[in-house]
Amino acid sequence: MTYAAPLRDIRFILHEMIGLPPSREEGDLTPELVDAILDEAARFAADVLAPLNQPGDKQGARWQGGAVTAPDGFRAAYRASPTAVLAFGDNEGAIGHLVGDANRGLEYMFVMMNLARFGVGLEGVALSERALQAAVSYATDRVQGTEIGVRGGQRVPIIRHPDVRRMLMSMKAQTEAMRALAYFVAAEMDQARRGGDTSAQAIVDLLIPVLKGWCTENAVEIASTGVQVHGGMGFIEETGAAQHLRDARITPIYEGTTGIQANDLIGRKIARDGGRAAGVAIAAMRGVVEALHGEELAALRAQLTDAVAALERCVRWVVETYAADPRAAAAGAVPLLKLFGITAGGWQMGRAAIVAQRKLASGDNADRAFYQAKLGTARFYADHILPQAQALAPTVTQGAAGVLALDEAQFAA
């Protein structure tokens, strides 16, 4: 199947939601240059990277004649990756040199770790997009069943069935929310690095574990939904649907498992500053809620209001509980990360919907279908995804009793 980079959505987020050039024009960075880079990257992704995806899995790495044979394209891909194996102390022992100031190693390491974790979160977004495109393409071609409610009607492509639409919308809406959150974090990273903006850095530090954990766990779910859209063909290698799921499955593991991201979130990012950075994010979310007007955004406004309130309650609970009962806080850490991700995704969907609503109201007819689709995915996110945030709140605050109910021996009983 072919792949096309979602350039329209990328440009929407960068130019219309975040306001990257011209408002942040710097040096040679002009809107034209940004667009040219995006065009070229999209071409490279479609023409060079995407076709490499399948042979890698089909051929695999083999041990033949005393040597490892890598699949076609593997070596070329790894040449572009700054990967190395370092062996310390094999001959005369290892000698350590202090890099930077003493006792600041962990802080330095987190500069690198933030970038690595951001990159893997983005990998979750990319795999979700690819799984979505494959699922839409298959659902458009595959003819099965008749239209519900039409007696003796023609057989139709499965994209006409409401449950297939539900699956595709859940893939599309969540992928858009994840992409918008990822680019928002990237813009804050730029702001922190170039402008030395400490409040931007605090938001980056807070959101990195959320982005990494939420986008990668979602990618597994989205790729799995992609297999489901394919039905039995999801198990047939030539569709590639199962490979997306296999590729996605590593992402919640490497660069820190979801459990480790969640521990970081509740400990270093929430409890340590008494919930201050989370409070700033929550205030920004409330700002978006206040700007959601009109009947078409009413559902999003209602659901986002409740989700933000649930997030705030849980953050407060973590701040109050972490020192006194760290096991209870840790038992709710992954559910809180998920709640945070869902709510932060809703925040970005709200921002997207406000822009789309404004564009449609301006009478600009050039791209109406795109902006209407934005309102549609925002509506889906409001009704199908955001309610999960509220449902997770009692799991965060009361779930430890069940998590810790058994002693080790009882698991084997």
Task: Summarize as ranges the residues that interact with ligand FAD (CB under 6 A).
Answer: 250, 253-254, 256-257, 259-260, 263
Q: How far apart are CA 344 and CA 342, in angstroms?
A: 6
Secondary structure of residue 291 in the 3-state scheme = coil
* Shortest distance (Å) from residue 296 CB to ligand FAD: 41
What is Dmax (Cα atoms) for the chain? 82
Q: Which is nearer to ligand FAD, 272 or 293 (CB)?
A: 272
Q: How far is the CB of 257 from ligand FAD (least distance, A)?
A: 3
Q: Is the CB of 29 or the CB of 113 nearer to ligand FAD? A: 113
Q: How far is the CB of 410 from ligand FAD (least distance, A)?
A: 19
Comparison of 250 and 284: residue with beta carbon closer to ligand FAD:
250
- CA dist., res. 30 & res. 369, Å (int): 28
282: closest CA among 357, 228, 203, 205?
203
Residue 69's DSSP bridge partners are: 62
The residue among 201 and 263 lying less far from ligand FAD, judged by its C-beta, is 263
Q: From the CB of residue 133, how many other CB atoms can be counted at a distance below 10 Å?
A: 22
How many CB atoms lie under 10 A from the CB of residue 194?
11
Per DSSP, the residues of 45-104 read IIIIIHHHHHHHHHH--EEETTEEEPPTTHHHHHHTS-------SSSS-------SSTT-
Kindly state the smallest distance separating residue 201's Cβ from ligand FAD, in Å. 24
The Cα–Cα gap between 294 and 257 comes to 41
Catalytic site residue from 255, 296, 312, 408? 255
**Residue closest to ligand FAD, measured at CB:** 259
Provide the phi-psi class of 256: left if phi over 0, else alpha when psi is between -120 and 50, else beta.
Answer: left
**Residue 85 CB, nearest approach to ligand FAD (Å):** 9
Nearer to ligand FAD, 10 or 116 (CB): 116
Whether 255 is catalytic: yes
In the chain, the N- to C-terminal Cα span, in Å, equals 48
| Active-site residue set | 255
